[in-house]
Amino acid sequence: MSRTGALDLASGVGGKIDKKDVQSAVEKYEKYHASFGGDEEARKNNYTDLVNKYYDLATSFYEYGWGESFHFGHRWNGESLRESLKRHEHFLALQLGLKPGMKVLDVGCGIGGPLREIARFSLTSITGLNNNEYQISRGKELNRLVGLKNSCNFVKADFMNMPFNENTFDAIYAIEATCHAPDPVGCYGEIYRVLKPGQHFAAYEWCMTESYDPKNENHQKVKAEIELGNGLPDIRTMAQCLDAIKQAGFEVIWEKDLAVDSPVPWYLPLDTSRFSLTSFRLTAVGRFLTRTLVRTLEGLGLAPAGSQRVSSFLEKAAEGLVEGGKKELFTPMYFFLVRKPME
C-alpha cells in the first residue's frame, strides 16, 4: 500500500463536498435507503442528490481499489481483472461498429476510464456525460495526462434531460450507469432523441434476474444492500429494462445476460474467500488494511469524519453483490444492442 495511494484516497473522500460536511452527507445518503428507513419513492424523487452524494463519497474508494473503470466484466480463465475490463469495453465498441470520425456519447461516464480506452481503441471522439462535478474534474485531469483532452470531452448534465440537439450522435453507449435513472423509459427516451436515425445504442445494465423473488426476505435484503452500496433508486429486472427500451422506441437487435456464460464469475474480485496478488486491495486482507488505513487517517484528521462509514457501506455492498451473484439473483452485465429506426 503506497503512501501516495493512501494520501490520494484521504484527499479524495467527499469529492466536492466540504470536508467538514462529509459526515452529515453520509448520514443523509444512508437515510435514503431501506436499511435506514428510506423508501424507493424518496430515492426516485431525489435521485440527483442521491447519486451525486454517492459518487462524491465513493469515487476515491473506487479508484483506489478498482482503477479508472468502475464496472465488472465477462472474464475468461487465465485473464486478469484489468484485461477483462478492457475486453468488455472493446466488445462494446465492436458491437457498435465504432470507426474513426464518429461522434460518440458515453452516458454516465464516471471518471472516464472506459471513455479513454474506447477512444484509443476505436479512434473516435467521445463525449462523456456526467452529473457529478468531482468525477468530471478528475476525468479531465486523466484525459490530459494521456493526451486526449482535445479529442474527448465531458459535459455536466442529467441524463434525464440532456443538453444536446436531436440526432446529434453517431453511437451511444452506457456501462452500468443508467441503472441510476429513476425512470428507465425517460432515460432511454433521451438517448433515443439525441441518437441519429439508423444508429445504435448499446449498454450493460444492472438488473435482478428471473431468479429474484420480490417476496423472499433474503432476496430483498440482497437487493437493498446493493442499492445502499451503489447509489441506486431501485434495481429493475431484465424484463423491465427490455420493456423500457421498446417503449422508448428502439428496435432490439439482440440482448443477453453475459454473466451466464462467463467462465470466471464476475463477482470473484469481491469474494473475500479468495486471495489475489493482482487484486490485493479487494481481498479480505486488502480490505482489512484499507479499513485500518481509513480509520487511522480519519483519527489523524487527514481524512474527513465519516470516511469509515463510507468504507463500511461499500463493504456491505460488496457482500450483497457477491451473494446476489452466487445465488444468480443479480447481474451487472445484462447487455443489449438496439437501433433507432430510420425516420
At residue 52, what is the residue type?
Answer: N
Alpha-carbon torsion angle 232, 237, 240, 241, nearest 10: 70
pLDDT score, position 286: 56
Q: Is the pLDDT of residue 341 over 60?
A: yes
Q: Do the beta carbons of residue 281 and residue 291 sit within 8 Å?
A: no
Q: What total number of domains does the chain contain?
A: 1
What's the confidence (pLDDT) of residue 1? 38
Question: In which element (H, E) is residue 252 found?
Answer: strand 251-257
Rounded alpha-carbon distances, angstroms, from residue 307 to 16, 26, 69, 325: 14, 9, 22, 27
Average pLDDT rounded to a whole number, residues 149-163: 95
CA distance 80 to 179: 26
pLDDT at 195: 98
Q: If DSSP codes are grouped into helix, strand and coil, which group holds residue 106?
A: strand
* Residues above pLDDT 70, as percent of the chain: 85
Phi/psi of residue 70, nearest 5 degrees = -90, 70
Q: Of residues 289 and 175, which shows the higher confidence score?
A: 175
The pTM assigned to this predicted structure is 0.88
Beta bridge partners of 339: 200, 251
Q: Residue 144: which domain range?
A: 1-343
Instruction: Give the sign of the dihedral formed by CA 50, CA 241, CA 320, CA 261.
Output: negative
pLDDT for 271: 85
**How confident is the model at residue 15, as a pLDDT?**
65
For position 4, what pLDDT does the model report?
41
Residue 245 sits at φ, ψ, to 5 deg, of -60, -45
pLDDT in tens, 158-208: 999 999 999 999 999 999 999 999 999 999 999 999 999 999 999 999 999
Report how far residue 279's alpha carbon sits from residue 294's, in angstroms, rounded to the nearest whole number: 19
Of the CA atoms within 13 Å of residue 160, those in its CB half-sphere come to: 13
Statement: residue 8 has pLDDT above 90: no
The CA dihedral of 73, 75, 78, 84, to the nearest 10 degrees, is: -30
**Average model confidence (pLDDT) across the chain:** 87
Highest mean pLDDT among 14-28, 131-145, 270-284: 131-145
Give the integer Cα–Cα distance in Å for 69 and 82: 9
CATH number of the domain at 6, please. Answer: 3.40.50.150
Instruction: Kindly tell me the sign of the dihedral angle through the C-alpha atoms of 13, 158, 87, 98.
Output: negative
User: Per residue in 29-54, pLDDT tens?
Assistant: 788 887 778 888 888 888 788 888 88
Span 237-281, pLDDT tens digits: 999 999 999 999 999 999 999 999 999 999 998 887 654 434 444
Integer Cα distance of 288 and 236 in angstroms: 32
- Cβ pair 169, 103 in contact under 8 A: yes
What pLDDT is stored for residue 230 in this prediction? 85
How far, in Å, CA of 177 to CA of 107, rounded?
7
Average pLDDT over residues 126-147: 95
Contacts of 289 (CB under 8 A, 6+ apart): 1, 281
Q: Supply φ then ψ for residue 90, to 5 degrees.
A: -65, -40
Which candidate, 14, 18, 38, 16, places its Cα nearest to that of 26? 14
